[in-house]
Amino acid sequence: MLVNDWMSAPAITVDIQDSMHRAVELMTERAIGILPVLDNGKLVGVVTDRDLKKAAPSSVALFETRQIVYHLARVKIEGIMTRNPVTVGPDHTIEETAQILRENNISGCPVLDREEEVAGVITKNDIFRALISLSGLPKRGLQFGFMVEDRPGSIKEITDTIRRYHARLVSIMTSFDKAPSGYRYLYVRTFNIDRKRLPDMKRDLSEIAKMLYIVDLRDGTRETYASY
Amino acid sequence: MLVKYWMNKDVTSVDVDDSMQKATNLMKTRAVRMLTVMKGKKLVGVVTDRDLKRASASDATSLEIHELLYLISQIRIKDIMTPNVVTVKADHTLEEAAARLLTNSISGAPVVDEAGNVVGTISQTEIFLALVSLSGYGKQGIQLAFQIEDRPGSIKNVTDIIRGHGGRIASILTSTSRSPAGFRNLYVRAYDVDRSAVEKLLDELKTVAEVLYMVDHRENKRIVFADQPGVKRAASSS
């Protein structure tokens, strides 16, 4: 999952000499929240909807329309943009990018290629879309939560059992976060399960690992087991 | 991956008749971007930093400061809040919560239990933290991407080879949204892989699947095998 496959490209940009009006227009028409700012084709900053809000007349203030129009036309991007923006490369993974956005407390950033050209823009929403696409087809299949021993082969035992029932794998995620020492949490998403054989499969699985929950995404039924 | 496990349990709420000033102060001191709005014990809305920003004075205002302060002091939460709030259930999965936030174009939502009581909040930020943690990114391993045939056993071929090189699986993710019919993309994150034999690992993997890329987070090394002759691209990638 590289940024390249999920970013918006080509990026919609503004020039440093453009008016604030131009930025408002682009963000409204294209429904975007961040615009890379270029100076002679080089990235020098970003302007976000937050920058615009900060610089725009408030809805409480009783401005006349013509004052607002004048204000928007007069203020230049240069005066309201955020300089030295955070960037990522098209060959960054979605997870790295999520971490970078989080560390900098921003909702998106420009993507710069090797030639330092703006290749696109990646936002939290793009990353969300990637996440949802990875979670498989909506309203299909089952998700299981387990606590397994942290040793080689502990995941394989579970996937082998699932395969024995001819169920297909969508995703596996693991976490050591908050798990007791020597254990990890394992989350498995599957599809193509014969619901009639589900009780047998559950029994086999609970013999090799501690089952935390089952969510059947087809009909929305949920079973949560103790202490989770 | 249930919401209740990853949500923020420290809920900050305001009363529907509180002043906007109180909401502003709470958001600052608690460093949160959304407050739940209660009427007694009932959830009636949320107020976000966006709602506050919209109702606040800007740098560009021409009002006198005392006029502004008076106007702002008169604003109640109920005037600026978002009513008919979208909620997420505590026993839903993170993916379900993410989908709900995305389809409603919101950055967070209150989490309710079966009885409808507010038990927490979940935002894009919490889901991000969960995503990063669950993908095993923190283990400083490698991520490999493949295009595989969509048939039973095609993932196992890949994971068996990675395990054969000492790799421990942190996550396996698949997607059909960017691949042509009959194929899916597979993303495997593994750690403890023998770095001295990565070339051999890649060669073996290429015999069972089309390798799209490898990112080694520990070595900060990225190899993208773009546009290989064998890789079938979806008709439209955007």
Q: Which of A124, A143, A169 sits opposite B172 (nearest CB)?
A: A169
Question: What distance in Å separates residue A199's CA from the closest CA in chain B?
Answer: 21
At residue B234, the pLDDT reads 47
Minimal Cβ distance to B131: which of A58, A75, A131: A131
Report the pLDDT averaged over residues A10-30. Answer: 93
Which one-letter amino acid corresponds to residue A173? M
Q: What is the DSSP string of chain A?
A: -BHHHHSBSSPP-EETTSBHHHHHHHHHHHT-SEEEEEETTEEEEEEEHHHHHHHSPPSSS---HHHHHHHHHHSBHHHHPEES---B-TTSBHHHHHHHHHHHT-SEEEEE-TTS-EEEEEEHHHHHHHHHHHT-STT-SEEEEEEEESSTTHHHHHHHHHHHTT-EEEEEEEE-TTPPTTEEEEEEEEE---GGGHHHHHHHHHHHSEEEEEEETTTTEEEE-TT-
Task: Report the residue of B68, B76, B100, B177 to disrupt the A interface, i.e. the one with the largest count of A CBs within 10 Å.
Answer: B177
User: Considering only CB atoms, which chain A residues are within 8 Å of B20?
Assistant: none
Specify the pTM. Answer: 0.78
- Residue A226, pLDDT > 80, answer no
- At residue B229 the predicted structure's pLDDT band, cuts being 50, 70 and 90, is very low
- Pairing state between β A221-224 and A210-216: antiparallel
Q: Where are the alpha helices (DSSP H) in B113-152?
A: 124-134
Return the CA Rg of chain B. Answer: 24
pLDDT tens across B18-36, in order? 999 899 999 999 988 899 9
Quick: pLDDT tens for B44-82: 999 998 888 777 655 555 666 677 677 777 889 999 999
**What is the least distance, in Å, from the CA of A155 to any CA of chain B?**
8
Which residues 75-104 in chain A show a CB within 8 A of chain B? Answer: 75, 91, 93, 95-96, 98-99, 101-102
Compute φ and ψ for B167, nearest 5 degrees.
Answer: -70, 135
pLDDT at B238: 33
**Cβ(B199)–Cβ(B167) under 8 Å?**
no
Distance between CA atoms of B98 and B106, rounded to whole angstroms? Answer: 10
